[in-house]
Amino acid sequence: MSRQYFGTDGIRGRTNQGLTAELAMKIGMAAGTHFLRGKHRHRVVIGKDTRLSGYMIENALVAGFTAVGMDVVQFGPIPTPAVALLAQSMRADLGVMISASHNPYLDNGIKLFGPDGYKLSDEDELKIEALLGQYIALAPSKEIGRARRIEDARGRYIHAVKSSFPADLRLDGLRIVIDCANGAAYQVAPSALWELGAEVIAIGVGPNGSNINDGCGSTAPMLLQETVVSSGADIGIALDGDADRLIIVDEKGQVVDGDQIMALIVTNFARAGVLRGGSLVATVMSNLGLERFLEGQGIGLERTKVGDRYVLERMREGGFNVGGEQSGHMILSDYGTTGDGTVAALQVLAALVRAKKPASEVLHPFDPVPQLLKNVRFAEGKPLEHADVQHVIAQAEAELNGCGRLVIRPSGTEPVIRVMAEGNREDQVRDVVDRICAAVEKVAT
Helix (H, G, I), strand (E, B) or coil at 356: coil
* Catalytic residue chosen out of the listed positions 101, 164, 286, 327: 101
- Phi/psi at 342 (5° precision): -70, -45
Q: CB under 8 Å to 399, separation ≥6 — which residues?
A: 428, 432
CA dihedral 162, 332, 407, 221 (to 10 degrees): 0
Angle 88-4-26 from CA coordinates, rounded to 5°: 60
Q: Return the exposure string of 372-408: e unless at least 16 CB atoms fall within 10 Å of the residue's CB, then b.
A: beeebebeeeebbebeebeebbeebeebbeeebbbbb
User: Which of 223, 58, 49, 79 is CA-nearest to residue 157?
Assistant: 79
Bridge pairing between strands 43-48 and 71-77: parallel
CA dihedral 427, 405, 295, 353 (to 10 degrees): 70
CA pair distance 424, 166, nearest whole angstrom: 39
Bridge pairing between strands 107-113 and 10-14: antiparallel
CA pair distance 71, 82, nearest whole angstrom: 19
CA pair distance 165, 276, nearest whole angstrom: 19
Angle 294-404-441 from CA coordinates, rounded to 5°: 130
Annotation says 101 is catalytic = yes
CA pair distance 253, 382, nearest whole angstrom: 40
CB 255 within 8 A of CB 247: yes
Length of the chain: 445
Catalytic residues: 101
